[in-house]
């Protein structure tokens, strides 16, 4: 199968490209490289074809889809920082919503009916019922979550109007790295807890800031659901193989287990052998105490089961990556 992957040079995109190639797919990458890394895509695909372009360039998308005889698309290209989305909401609407609309238009023009999309549990906002199921009403509390829900609405319209088959996979907290240490997480700026904790272990930061230790959780710190990036990649492959024109799939992807900030730090101390100093800071506005997935629908519909999402597997693989790549991907690759 010829598969176009947008955001192919990013964190989850590159891991998914690798699995697609291993499964026998021919992968064509599409990325504007504003956040991604050429080295990530090259390592994932052994030097596969990468088209450098923006989602807003509908003509380039259409030419690429046609020239490469693309049969299905996996869509990762999006901005994904909550704080940044609050500061620059229009940027998030333009990139995430208008960019996805451009992609949907290109797919319609080329007669392609299968699209797997990276979505997020940020569409649910701060729900009262935990674990979070797909029955939870969408109630985004920031422009990032709103942009992702707007994309899902566009997809539902295209499904009804044009027979587009789509799978919207709603992630919880992606984490971990490839087991061989070749692919991993490299963001600038880095805002995710696990890479920041490991940067402290490497001596790149003085300490980890814990935003609030007085939440109604067992140890007072926020609890989140961490899912290994390889498990996310596996879900995309399963959705791609299952999806049919005119079908819609909207499922949560999480481990189904909650881990607190302090538990992450304590386990990272054991994995790395470093002290990892902490300092408690004020709560951040809008941080819910606990977010855990109900992943029953993904398990039943996709026949998906998280295989690598234990805390030990996540932290061990991430630590291997960060030790080998303390500065991230080499810019020369």
Rounded-to-integer distance, Cα 98 and Cα 154, Å: 10
- Per-residue burial over 250-288, b if 16 or more Cβ lie within 10 Å, else e, is bbbbbbbbbbbbbebbebbeebbebebebeeeeeeeeeb
The structural domains of the chain, with segments of one domain joined by +, span 2-174+227-253
Give one DSSP letter per residue of 2-25, joined into a string: EEEEETTTSHHHHHHHHHHHHTTP
Pairing of strands 248-253, 278-281: unpaired
pLDDT at res. 333: 45
Rounded-to-integer distance, Cα 124 and Cα 218, Å: 23
Rounded-to-integer distance, Cα 260 and Cα 100, Å: 34
Q: How far is CA 116 from CA 52, 80, 243, 250, in A?
A: 20, 17, 8, 10
**Per-residue pLDDT tens digits of the chain, which is 333 residues long:** 999 999 999 999 999 999 999 999 999 999 999 999 999 999 999 999 999 999 999 999 999 999 999 999 999 999 999 889 999 999 999 999 999 999 999 999 999 999 999 999 999 999 999 999 999 999 999 999 999 999 999 999 999 999 999 999 999 999 999 999 999 999 988 999 999 999 999 999 999 999 999 999 999 999 999 999 999 999 999 999 999 999 999 999 999 999 999 999 999 999 999 999 999 999 988 788 999 999 999 999 999 999 999 999 999 999 999 999 999 998 744
Rounded-to-integer distance, Cα 314 and Cα 229, Å: 9
Q: For 266, phi and psi rounded to 5 degrees?
A: -65, -40
Beta bridge partners of 208: 278
Query: DSSP secondary-structure letter at 96?
Result: I
CA dihedral 92, 7, 310, 264 (to 10 degrees): -50
Tokens of 75: 């869509």
Q: Are 122 and 82 in contact (CB under 8 A)?
A: yes
Tokens of 76: 């990762």
Which residues are part of the catalytic machinery? 144
Pairing of strands 208-211, 248-253: unpaired
Give helix 11-22 / helix 229-242 axis angle, nearest 10°.
Answer: 60
Read off the pTM. Answer: 0.96
pLDDT at res. 332: 47
Query: DSSP secondary-structure letter at 332?
Result: T
| Helical ranges in the chain per DSSP H | 11-22, 38-45, 58-67, 82-87, 89-92, 99-110, 143-162, 193-201, 229-242, 261-272, 296-302, 311-324
Rounded-to-integer distance, Cα 134 and Cα 199, Å: 35
At the fourth CATH level, which superfamily is domain 2-174+227-253? Answer: NAD(P)-binding Rossmann-like Domain (3.40.50.720)
Give Cβ neighbours of residue 48 (< 8 Å, ≥ 6 apart).
Answer: 17, 21, 27, 28, 29, 41, 42
Tokens of 133: 């199921």
pLDDT at res. 285: 81
Rounded-to-integer distance, Cα 204 and Cα 196, Å: 9
pLDDT at res. 223: 97
Pairing of strands 49-52, 72-75: unpaired
Rounded-to-integer distance, Cα 249 and Cα 46, Å: 31
Tokens of 291: 């977010």
């Amino acid at each position: 199968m010829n598969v176009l992957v947008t955001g192919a040079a990013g964190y989850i995109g590159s891991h998914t490209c690798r699995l697609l190639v291993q499964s026998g797919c021919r992968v064509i990458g599409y990325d504007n490289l504003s956040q991604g890394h050429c080295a990530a895509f090259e390592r994932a695909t052994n030097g596969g074809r990468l088209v450098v372009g923006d989602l807003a360039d509908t003509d380039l998308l259409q030419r690429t889809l046609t020239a490469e005889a693309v049969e299905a698309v996996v869509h990762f290209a999006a901005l994904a920082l909550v704080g940044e989305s609050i500061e620059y909401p229009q940027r998030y609407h333009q990139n995430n919503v208008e960019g996805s609309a451009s992609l949907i238009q290109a797919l319609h023009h080329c007669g392609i009916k299968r699209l797997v999309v990276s979505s997020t549990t940020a569409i649910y906002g701060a729900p009262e019922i935990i674990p979070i199921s797909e029955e939870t009403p969408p109630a985004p509390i920031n422009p990032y979550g709103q942009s992702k829900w707007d994309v899902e609405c566009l997809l539902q319209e295209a499904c009804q109007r044009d027979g587009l088959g789509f799978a919207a996979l709603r992630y919880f907290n992606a984490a971990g790295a490839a087991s061989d240490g070749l692919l991993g997480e490299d963001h600038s700026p880095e805002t995710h807890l696990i890479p920041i904790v490991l940067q402290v272990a490497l001596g790149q930061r003085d300490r980890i800031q814990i935003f609030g230790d007085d939440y109604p959780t067992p140890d007072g710190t926020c609890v989140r659901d961490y899912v290994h990036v390889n498990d996310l990649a596996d879900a995309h492959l399963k959705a791609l193989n299952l999806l049919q024109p005119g079908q819609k799939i909207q499922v949560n992807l999480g481990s189904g287990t909650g881990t607190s900030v302090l538990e992450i730090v304590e386990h990272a101390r054991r994995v790395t052998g470093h002290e990892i100093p902490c300092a408690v800071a004020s709560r951040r506005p809008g941080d819910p105490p606990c977010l855990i997935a109900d992943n029953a629908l993904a398990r039943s519909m996709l026949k998906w089961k998280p295989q690598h999402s234990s805390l030990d597997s996540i932290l061990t693989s991430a630590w291997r990556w960060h030790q080998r790549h303390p500065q991230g991907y080499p810019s020369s690759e």
